[in-house]
């Protein structure tokens, strides 16, 4: 009899744990990317050679490698769960990540995408762009897009942080894609903040990546409460 | 009573006893003989293999029956039983039907007989009728009548036969209908059980049975045993037993039973599957076992079926110990052709694969062959069929314009003191020349060599840079121009083809380096260093950088001085070689100090063989000094002088030790100075020694019949010549080509900025263009910082390379220019429109605007296309450039085969690509279009 009781208790606890782990025990991780130091001097890039680009940027193009927000935070930092999700599987969303070439610049400059998730590449400019993605793990591609409004679809098969994307017609144009096999990533915005949503309970290493200032990591433990993870990049 | 008189002279009872004893002993001997004859090592292995095979087949059987769909089988069996029942119920009807078939059959047979009979009559009448008619015989009329009569009879018989046959078929069908269902179901069941049945049959075949045991029993096993020695008789290969050649017979498969069967990859030895079945054994491989056997590659005694007598050779001492324990292995000292240890097994490839630079997939042997050339082994040692293609060391005919006396003296003391990565071996002060007296002798020789070289050096005119050099700019140029394809500098470990350039500031002067960089052939006409067409400024900047790299410890060292009395001693010893002591002394006394130095210098250079690697005046026709190695891999083991060195007495061990320490076999010996071993100490890693050992073991004069050798056809020979030139010029330093990665390409993360891949160059470039480009390279890719050097190739060399590229791409060579595909003015016009719409000219135009956009903007000038590219290639290129040139900046405009311009040429991708190509072949320059160029011509 006692054995049976124990057995029931065990079953109940297993059910409870799995239920909690499955839904309730998940939280958001938010944070801010502070910037410590002096932003590099802005040297405008001349776009004279391509009249279409010059028309959009008559005084030249602002370099987008380092963008320091007004609240002294850093934009375009890619934050993602680096370790802690091993063995778990997450289906790729059917919805495409949109990637635009607009005003001879990439939009977004830094973005995350899941493996095998479609990437919809658009050319909103009335000039030739080429989209040359240089992943090492997945198949690279280099697409010429001579027509305004044309769209092409591609995807990355293997995770890789980061994949550089560049345009050889306009050497200043570059973008970075963080390719992951899970959906737990975010990019810091105009206020330097980011939110990774719905991370299941567990211990994780999260990493923040910046094009110029490199990477930083933090260990976090997620239970049922939202967590904060702030980073500071020094110039 | 007196004892019975013994009629014989011996004791009968005693004789009986002895007879009994000897009979018993003889019986025991007989039993022992039978047992020893029966109990063979190989039988044990065969029994073990049978057990292994049974075990494996049982596993397969379990797997096969596991795969059978149980429910389906059950249903089918049920249906089958029902069908059988139904058939039995109609037993009587079936019997009746059977009777009908029989009747119909007998009638048909009868009718057929009648028909055939009549047919014969008809043929015979026809023959006689025709014959008589030709001879105008009267009997013709008679046969005409007979023929007339038989024709209708035959027609009638035929129609009767056909009716009866139809009736018979009908009856057959009726009968079959009774059992059709049963048969069909049985078929389905059989199909379902197919795999299992097959494995069952296999198991039945391999399982030991009583019958097999009887067949294998002692005394009767001569009839038809199942345990048998397996052998492969090789018609075209022979074993050389010194005085007789015997047809090769390999019995290895007697124990290596799983060697050619898949599925024993993890089985214990000797049963394991051969690890490279795609290359060996299988009928579809290039080396099927029926043709090549085993010992042709592995060596050893193929006739033997015992582990020891087969001459198995362990890889290491640990393995030897393991074998002794496991197989009672012992080394066969008397057997000449021992198996090659597995780590050197590639040595055997060379028997048949001669006259090629590389044997496919034999990486170690290939590395050994490469080292033999690059380290200068074949400069010194004669190997028939492998002449050296270049001198490894620099020319010394003008050395006084480059190096000073002290530098040469310090360098010769130990070249590694100056440059640890140098290929120049250490010649002096080695293990057999390290006594204080020998060191003095060495110093005397070094001093005299330096004196000889200085005296026999013709000065070269050097020029001085006219501008000021910038070291930082020079450092950048070394990286940007591609010097690292061959050289390493400072912390950058890159090319090892040419010498490492660190420390150059402690070696040469600015004038020499500047002159050298501007034109290497000016100083040394045979150098492999190409010209990079450097401007004065570039050459000055690079020399400024390289000269800033000093080797202070080396520079601050003093050069040891030679003692005059030691010089005299060595001169006297040398003179004594050709004259009596008294005469030698007189001769010596006649010489001035300088004469003595020069005499000894010449003697030392010829004794050490410096000239085999360096061009030295006075040694133009001197013969190499090393022992001939043509048959070294096959040389009798007793001809190797192991001296007092305690190592295993095998060829591999001797060669390995010799390469590791070339003077070691002088250990413990008393020898005169000039009699000591001379092979210098090379700067080799353990892996390199291993590869060179494999190479030396591969050297054999063993005659393999021509039909068994890999023979090259004309094209393959051309390709080999090209390969040799590619290795001589180090094309792979930059380019990926012929299965090798390009070093600079590898070092570049962004392949778009790396030297191009040359695989497929033969399909890409027109021969005429390629020829002129190789003779005199000019920039094609304006954005590349790397510069294709000018190699000063001869016409022959250039042609060799053109043929090499063409052959690699399976292209036919045509110097006539390329035949353009047929096109129409409309198509060309559409091509022009497409080029405009796709905005090709944004990158493919060299003008001020594009220059302003930065270097990455400049793509090859399209004016080059018509003379440079082959039309078929242009089509492939436009379809997907990444396939042909990984990482290229050229994008595809036809992603997934779709054109972005649907309103030209009906939006057909292929036609559009052709149109663009056709336009390019008519394209003139810049803004000129094909049409306007035509009008211009008018």
Is residue B529's pLDDT more than 70?
yes
Three-class secondary structure assignment of B359-382: CCCCHHHHHHHHHHHHCCHHHHCC
Is residue B195 one of the residues assigned to a domain?
yes
B110-117, long-range: CB < 8 A, 24+ apart? B111/B157, B111/B160, B111/B161, B111/B164, B112/B161, B114/B157, B114/B160, B114/B161, B115/B154, B115/B157, B115/B158, B115/B160, B115/B161
Q: How is B900-928 classified by DSSP, letter by letter?
A: S-TTSGGG-HHHHHHHHHHHHTT--STT-
Give the three-class secondary structure for B832. Answer: helix
* Cβ-contact B749, B887 below 8 angstroms: no
Chain B interface with A: residues with Cβ < 8 Å: 750, 752, 837-839, 842-843, 849-850, 852-854, 856-857, 881-882, 886-893, 895, 900-901
CATH classification of the domain holding B899: 1.10.760
Cα(B391)–Cα(B614) distance, rounded to whole angstroms? 6
Is residue A41's pLDDT more than 60?
yes
The partner residues of A179 in beta bridges, in order of sequence, read A113, A160
Residues B190 and B269 occupy one common structural domain: no
The whole-angstrom distance between A56's CA and the closest CA on chain B is 16
Residues B417 and B488 occupy one common structural domain: yes
B41 Cβ contact partners less than 8 Å away, ≥ 6 residues apart: B305, B306, B307
ipTM of the complex: 0.83
Q: Judge: B900–A168 Cβ closer than 8 Å, yes or no.
A: no
Is residue B537's pLDDT more than 90?
yes
Residues B841 and B919 occupy one common structural domain: yes
- Domain end position, chosen among B683, B706, B729: B706
Is residue B504 one of the residues assigned to a domain?
yes
CATH classification of the domain holding B636: 1.10.760.10
Full set of structural domains in chain A with CATH: 26-234 (2.60.40.420)
Is residue B221 one of the residues assigned to a domain?
no
| Domains: count for chain B | 6
Dump pLDDT digits (tens) for B384-410.
888 888 899 999 999 999 999 999 999
Q: Return the closest-CA partner of residue B677 out of B601, B577, B609.
A: B609
Is residue A23's pLDDT more than 80?
no
Residues B255 and B123 occupy one common structural domain: no
Q: Write out chain A residues lying below 8 Å of B853, CB-based.
A: 49-50, 169-171
Q: Judge: B889–A132 Cβ closer than 8 Å, yes or no.
A: yes
For B453, the token pair is 């070289």
Q: Judge: B888–A142 Cβ closer than 8 Å, yes or no.
A: yes
What pLDDT does B175 receive? 82
| Residue B730 falls in which region: left (phi positive, over 0), alpha (psi -120 to 50) or beta | left
Cα(A147)–Cα(A121) distance, rounded to whole angstroms? 12
CA atoms within 13 A on the CB side of B361: 8
Dump pLDDT digits (tens) for B680-727.
999 999 999 999 999 999 998 877 888 888 888 899 999 999 999 999
Model confidence band, residue B937 (pLDDT cutoffs 50, 70, 90)? very low
Q: Is A52 exposed, middle or buried (0-12, 13-18, 19+ CB in 10 A)?
A: middle
Q: Which of B842, B887, B889 sits opposite A128 (nearest CB)?
A: B842
* Cβ-contact B558, B486 below 8 angstroms: no
Residues B698 and B729 occupy one common structural domain: no
The partner residues of A163 in beta bridges, in order of sequence, read A177
Model confidence band, residue B5 (pLDDT cutoffs 50, 70, 90)? low
- Domain end position, chosen among B706, B728, B750: B706
Average pLDDT score, chain A: 87
Residues B368 and B513 occupy one common structural domain: no
> What does the angle CA B768 – CA B774 – CA B780 come to, to the nearest 5 degrees?
90
Give Cα B131 to chain centroid, integer Å. Answer: 74
Q: Domain range for residue B893? A: 825-937
End-to-end CA distance of chain A: 68
* Cβ-contact B348, B338 below 8 angstroms: no
The whole-angstrom distance between A128's CA and the closest CA on chain B is 6
Is residue B932's pLDDT more than 50?
no
The whole-angstrom distance between A130's CA and the closest CA on chain B is 6
What pLDDT does B681 receive? 96
Average pLDDT score, chain B: 89
Residues B645 and B718 occupy one common structural domain: no
What pLDDT does B243 receive? 81
Give the three-class secondary structure for B239. Answer: strand
Is residue A6's pLDDT more than 90?
no
Residues B836 and B920 occupy one common structural domain: yes
Model confidence band, residue B354 (pLDDT cutoffs 50, 70, 90)? confident
What pLDDT does B843 receive? 85
Q: How is B89-137 classified by DSSP, letter by letter?
A: HTHHHHHHHHHHHHHHHHHHHHHHHHHHHHHHHHHHHHHHHHHHHHTT-
Is residue B816 one of the residues assigned to a domain?
no
Mean pLDDT, residues B642-651 taken together: 89
Residues B907 and B838 occupy one common structural domain: yes
Dump pLDDT digits (tens) for B775-793.
999 988 888 899 999 999 9
Is residue A1's pLDDT more than 60?
no
Residues B527 and B454 occupy one common structural domain: yes
Report percent pLDDT > 70 for chain B: 97
Q: Return the closest-CA partner of residue B695 out of B472, B245, B223, B373.
A: B373
Is residue B848's pLDDT more than 60?
no
Dump pLDDT digits (tens) for B806-827.
999 998 888 777 778 888 999 9
Is residue B465 one of the residues assigned to a domain?
yes
Is residue B931's pLDDT more than 50?
no
CA-nearest residue of chain A to B838? A146
For B162, the token pair is 């056909």
Q: Judge: A134–B750 Cβ closer than 8 Å, yes or no.
A: yes
Evaluate if pTM is beyond 0.90: no
Q: Judge: B882–A46 Cβ closer than 8 Å, yes or no.
A: no
What pLDDT does B170 receive? 86
The partner residues of A27 in beta bridges, in order of sequence, read A199
Mean pLDDT, residues B430-438 taken together: 93
Q: How is chain A classified by DSSP, letter by letter?
A: -HHHHHHHHHHHHHHHHHHIIIIISEEEEEEEEEEES-PPPP-PBP-TTSHHHHHH-TT-BPP-S--B-TTSBBSS-EEEEEES-TT---PPPSSPEEEEEETTEEESSEEEEETT--EEEEE-SSS-EEEEE--SSS--EEEEE-STT-EEEE--SS-EEEEEEE-SSSTT-EEEEEEESSS-EEE--TTSEEEEEEEESEEEEEEEEETTTEEEEEEEEESSS-EE--EEEE-
Residues B560 and B461 occupy one common structural domain: yes
Residues B698 and B725 occupy one common structural domain: no
Cα(B246)–Cα(B763) distance, rounded to whole angstroms? 49
Q: Return the closest-CA partner of residue B470 out of B358, B545, B387.
A: B545
Is residue B778 one of the residues assigned to a domain?
yes
């Amino acid at each position: 009899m006692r054995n049976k009781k124990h057995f029931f208790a065990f079953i109940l606890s297993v059910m409870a744990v799995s239920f909690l782990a499955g839904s309730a025990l998940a939280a958001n991780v938010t944070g801010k990317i502070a910037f410590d130091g002096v932003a590099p001097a802005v040297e405008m890039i001349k776009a004279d050679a391509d009249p279409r680009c010059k028309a959009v940027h008559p005084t030249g193009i602002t370099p987008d490698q380092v963008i320091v927000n007004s609240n002294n935070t850093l934009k375009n930092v890619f934050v993602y769960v680096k370790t802690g999700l091993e063995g778990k599987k997450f289906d790729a969303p059917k919805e495409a990540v949109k990637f635009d070439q607009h005003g001879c610049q990439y939009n977004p400059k830094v973005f995350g995408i899941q493996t095998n998730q479609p990437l919809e590449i658009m050319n909103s400019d009335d000039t030739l762009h080429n989209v040359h993605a240089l992943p090492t793990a997945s198949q690279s591609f280099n697409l010429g897009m001579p027509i305004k409004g044309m769209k092409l679809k591609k995807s990355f098969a293997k995770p890789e942080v980061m994949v550089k994307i560049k345009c050889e017609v306009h050497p200043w144009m570059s973008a970075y894609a963080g390719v992951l096999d899970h959906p737990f990533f975010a990019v810091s915005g105009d206020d330097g903040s980011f939110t990774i949503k719905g991370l299941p309970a567990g211990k994780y290493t999260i990493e923040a990546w910046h094009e110029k200032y490199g990477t930083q990591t933090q260990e976090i433990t997620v239970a049922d409460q939202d967590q904060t993870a702030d980073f500071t990049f020094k110039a | 009573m007196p004892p019975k008189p013994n009629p014989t002279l011996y004791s009968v009872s005693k004789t009986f006893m002895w007879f009994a004893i000897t009979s018993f002993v003889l019986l025991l001997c007989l039993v022992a003989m039978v047992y020893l004859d029966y109990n063979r090592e190989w039988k044990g292995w065969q029994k073990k293999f049978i057990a292994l095979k049974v075990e494996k087949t049982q596993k397969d059987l379990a797997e096969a029956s596991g795969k059978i769909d149980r429910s389906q089988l059950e249903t089918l069996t049920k249906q089958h039983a029902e069908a059988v029942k139904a058939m039995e119920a109609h037993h009587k009807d079936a019997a009746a039907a059977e009777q009908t078939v029989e009747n119909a059959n007998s009638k048909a047979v009868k009718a057929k007989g009648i028909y055939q009979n009549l047919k014969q009559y008809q043929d015979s009448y026809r023959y006689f009728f025709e014959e008589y008619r030709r001879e105008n015989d009267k009997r013709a009329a008679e046969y005409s009548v007979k023929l007339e009569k038989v024709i209708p009879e035959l027609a009638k018989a035929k129609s009767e036969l056909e009716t009866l046959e139809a009736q018979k078929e009908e009856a057959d069908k009726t009968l079959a209908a009774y059992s059709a269902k049963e048969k069909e179901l049985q078929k389905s069941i059989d199909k379902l059980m197919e795999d299992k049945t097959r494995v069952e049959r296999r198991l039945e075949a391999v399982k030991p049975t009583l019958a097999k045991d009887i067949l294998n029993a002692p005394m009767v096993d001569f009839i038809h045993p199942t345990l048998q020695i397996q052998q492969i008789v090789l018609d075209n290969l022979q074993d050389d037993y010194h005085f007789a050649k015997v047809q090769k017979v390999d019995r290895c498969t007697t124990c290596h039973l799983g060697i050619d069967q898949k599925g024993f990859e993890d089985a214990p030895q000797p049963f394991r599957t051969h690890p490279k079945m795609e290359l060996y054994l299988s009928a579809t491989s290039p080396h099927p076992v029926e043709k090549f056997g085993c010992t042709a590659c592995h060596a050893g005694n193929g006739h033997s079926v015992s582990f020891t007598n087969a001459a198995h050779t362990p890889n290491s001492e640990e393995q030897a110990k393991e074998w002794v324990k496991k197989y009672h292995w012992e080394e066969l000292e008397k057997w000449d052709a021992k198996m090659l240890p597995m780590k050197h097994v590639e040595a055997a490839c060379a028997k048949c694969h001669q006259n090629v630079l590389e044997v496919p997939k034999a990486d170690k042997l290939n590395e050994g062959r490469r080292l033999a050339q690059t380290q200068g082994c074949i400069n010194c040692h004669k190997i028939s069929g492998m002449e050296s293609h270049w001198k490894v060391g620099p020319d010394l005919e003008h050395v006084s314009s480059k190096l000073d006396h002290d530098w040469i003296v310090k360098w010769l003391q130990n070249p590694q003191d100056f440059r640890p990565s140098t290929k120049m071996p250490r010649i002096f002060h080695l293990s057999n020349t390290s006594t204080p007296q020998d060191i003095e002798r060495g110093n005397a020789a070094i001093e005299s060599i330096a004196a000889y070289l200085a005296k026999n050096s013709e000065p070269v005119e050097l020029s001085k840079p006219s501008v000021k050099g910038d070291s930082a700019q020079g450092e950048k140029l070394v990286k940007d121009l591609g010097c690292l394809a061959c050289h390493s500098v400072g912390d950058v470990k890159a090319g090892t083809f040419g010498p490492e350039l660190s420390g150059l500031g402690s070696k040469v002067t600015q004038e020499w380096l500047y002159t050298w960089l501007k034109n290497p052939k000016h100083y040394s006409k045979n150098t492999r260093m190409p010209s990079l067409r450097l401007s004065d400024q570039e050459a000055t900047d690079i020399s400024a950088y390289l000269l800033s790299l000093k080797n202070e410890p080396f520079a601050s060292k003093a050069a040891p001085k030679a003692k005059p009395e030691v010089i005299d001693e060595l001169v006297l010893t040398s003179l004594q070689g050709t004259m009596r002591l008294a005469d030698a002394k007189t001769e010596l006394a006649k010489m001035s100090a300088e004469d003595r130095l020069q005499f000894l210098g010449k003697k030392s250079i010829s004794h050490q063989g410096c000239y085999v690697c360096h061009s030295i005046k006075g040694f133009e026709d001197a013969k190499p000094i090393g022992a001939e190695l043509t048959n070294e891999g096959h040389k009798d083991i007793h001809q190797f002088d192991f001296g007092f060195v305690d190592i295993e007495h095998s060829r591999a061990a001797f060669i390995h030790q010799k390469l590791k320490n070339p003077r070691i076999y002088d250990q413990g010996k008393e020898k005169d100075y000039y009699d000591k071993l001379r092979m210098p100490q090379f700067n080799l890693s353990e892996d390199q020694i291993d590869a060179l050992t494999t190479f030396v073991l591969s050297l054999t004069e063993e005659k393999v019949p021509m039909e068994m050798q890999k023979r090259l056809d004309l094209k393959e020979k051309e390709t080999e010549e090209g390969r040799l030139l590619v290795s001589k010029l180090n094309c792979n330093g930059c380019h990926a080509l012929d299965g090798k990665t390009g070093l600079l390409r590898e070092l570049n993360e962004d392949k778009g900025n790396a030297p191009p891949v040359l695989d497929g160059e033969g399909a890409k470039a027109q021969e005429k263009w390629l020829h002129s480009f190789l003779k005199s390279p000019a920039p094609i890719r304006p954005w590349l910082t790397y510069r294709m050097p000018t190699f000063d190739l001869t016409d022959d060399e250039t042609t060799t390379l053109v043929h090499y590229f063409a052959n690699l791409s399976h292209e036919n060579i045509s110097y006539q220019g390329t035949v353009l595909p047929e096109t129409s003015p409309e198509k060309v016009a559409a091509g022009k429109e497409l080029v405009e719409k796709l905005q090709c000219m944004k990158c493919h135009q060299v003008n001020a605007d594009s220059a302003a956009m930065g270097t990455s903007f400049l793509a090859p000038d399209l004016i080059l296309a018509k003379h440079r590219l082959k039309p078929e290639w242009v089509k492939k290129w436009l379809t997907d450039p990444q396939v042909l040139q990984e990482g290229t900046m050229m994008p595809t405009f036809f992603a997934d085969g779709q054109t972005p311009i649907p309103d030209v040429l009906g939006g057909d991708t292929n036609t559009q690509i052709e149109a663009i190509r056709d336009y390019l072949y008519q394209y003139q320059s810049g803004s000129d279009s094909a049409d306007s160029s035509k009008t211009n011509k008018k």
